[in-house]
Amino acid sequence: MRPAPLLLALVLAWLLPGVAASFGLLPASAWIAYGGVLVLVAALDAWRLRRLATPDVARVAPEAWPVGVEREVELVVDGGARAMRVDLHDLHPQGWQADGLPRTLDLVPDAGVRFAYRLRPDERGDFGFDGVHLRLHSPWRLWRQRRVVGTAQRVRVFPNFAPLARLALLGAEQASRMVGAHVRRRRGEGTDFHQMRDYRVGDSLRQVDWKATSRMRRLISREYQDERNQHLLMVIDTGRRMLARDGALSHFDHVLDAALVVSYLALRQGDAVGLLASGGERRWVAPQRGMGAIDVFLRETYALQPTPVATDYLAAATELSLRHRRRSLVMLVTNLRDEDMEDLLAAVRMLQQRHHVVVASLREESLAGALDGPAQDLPGAVRAAAAARYLAQRAAAHDALRAHRVGVLDVTCAELPAALVERYLAIKREGRL
């Protein structure tokens, strides 16, 4: 229990007349009487505060959160049979950005108060709410008392699965366009038979089924679709390169979000999707089909974090070759440097013996304007020269990969989901698997 500002003001008001009494300007008995009354009132108000029942607080919060996305948390406060004023702050996980806290509530008897505030987690993993912090005001506002109520609650923060709910309402091509992918027109009729249908203007003669046409006495075409039952393997770097940040999220968080999007669309196409995390922490999810695979990926990756260690690409390629032998589309997502080239090139050559390989190399968004405009001073010139050298080495590393028939995506974190989806669809439609 601590004194409130009003009590401190009253004590100060009592001390000032004491100075006057010491000079004989005010009777000492009056000053002493005022002090006695103040002590009695303060003691009575403290006693009344201690007798106040602690309000009940219930929290309604989701157990699963997408990283980087605001969600609403609702609190229900019941003060009981007495009116009181309460300052409230929810003990949410440290570091989360909160909007709408703290709150001051005036509780009325036998009536609850319900309100909501918004939270945004910036990291994945296991977190907890540790209760609710209350600061009760005494009836005469002379004292304040802190109390912690409510129960602890554990929550999990996953990669950002919120976009998947929107994609679920769209067709495959519409969903691809929604994430920013430029879906190219089909260059053939696909490889898997889908259905028979009436001939349409523009169908090629190769599509016409002459036996069915003769039987039905009208032109009937065969309709084909992209080959299903193919395999997509996402290989994501968990080493030091992924610790870089663009905005509130790390590169690794952006990679997981993009991997979820392309995996979701691949599963809808009827393909099997697997995941290998290598570099720091290691994780393997064998290729599987069906939309339930998304839940498996979320459970396996929500607590996965990059670590400050160098990535061994050759070790990752060796592990993948031992674990999965069927030909697949391998999408390796990392942040490539020129010093990584020897190891990465050996890893890619190993994977190319069996798989089709695409390397997505993340580019820091800060590099976009590094060379814009003239340098105004020596530090600016040094930064511009360093950026130019870095970009030249990065381009040389990408050209070396392309020379070995490796698809390379040089993209920022914001461009990554659309680039992965676009390349996946292009490879699938061109029948390169």
Largest CA distance in the chain: 125
pLDDT tens for residues 389-432?
888 888 888 888 888 888 899 888 888 888 898 888 888 877 77
Same domain, 91 and 136: yes
Same domain, 292 and 148: no
**Residue 375 pLDDT greater than 80, yes or no:** no
**How far apart, in whole angstroms, are the C-alpha atoms of residue 394 and residue 68?**
29
Q: According to the model, what pLDDT value does residue 196 have?
A: 72
Q: What type of residue sits at position 380? A: G
Task: Report how many domains make up the chain.
Answer: 4
Same domain, 410 and 312: yes
Same domain, 265 and 398: yes
Same domain, 235 and 218: no
DSSP state letter for 137: E
Q: Read off the pLDDT band of 338 (50, 70, 90).
A: confident
**How far apart, in whole angstroms, are the C-alpha atoms of residue 430 and residue 433?**
8
**Boundaries of domain holding 14:** 2-51
**How far apart, in whole angstroms, are the C-alpha atoms of residue 313 and residue 349?**
11
Token pair 């050209």 in the structure block, residue: 399
Q: What is the CATH number of the domain that holds 395?
A: 3.40.50.410
Same domain, 305 and 398: yes
Q: What is the CATH number of the domain that holds 150?
A: 2.60.40.10
Same domain, 21 and 74: no
Cα atoms in the 13 Å half-sphere on the side-chain side of 145? 18
The mean pLDDT of 337-366, rounded to a whole number, is: 88
How high does pLDDT run on average in the chain?
A: 84
The mean pLDDT of 231-247, rounded to a whole number, is: 89
**How far apart, in whole angstroms, are the C-alpha atoms of residue 351 and residue 357?**
7
The mean pLDDT of 55-66, rounded to a whole number, is: 91
Considering only CA atoms, which of 217, 172, 222 is closest in space to residue 200? 222
Same domain, 344 and 282: yes
pLDDT tens for residues 263-307?
988 888 888 999 999 888 899 999 998 888 899 999 998 889 999
Same domain, 131 and 177: no
Q: According to the model, what pLDDT value does residue 172 have?
A: 54
Same domain, 312 and 361: yes
Same domain, 63 and 46: no
Q: Read off the pLDDT band of 177 (50, 70, 90).
A: low
Q: What type of residue sits at position 97? A: Q
Give percent of the chain above pLDDT 90: 31
pLDDT tens for residues 302-336?
889 999 998 899 999 999 999 998 999 999 999 88
Same domain, 105 and 213: no
Q: Is 113 helix (H, G, I), strand (E, B) or coil?
A: strand
Q: According to the model, what pLDDT value does residue 178 have?
A: 56
DSSP state letter for 377: S
pLDDT tens for residues 14-44?
887 777 777 767 777 777 888 888 899 999 9
List of residues 6+ apart from 260 with CB closer than 8 A: 159, 160, 161, 164, 294, 297, 298
pLDDT tens for residues 204-236?
777 787 887 888 788 887 765 555 578 999 999
Q: Read off the pLDDT band of 155 (50, 70, 90).
A: very high
pLDDT tens for residues 189-198?
455 555 677 8
Radius of gyration of the chain (CA): 33
Parallel, antiparallel, or unpaired: how do β-strands 84-90 and 132-137 relate?
antiparallel
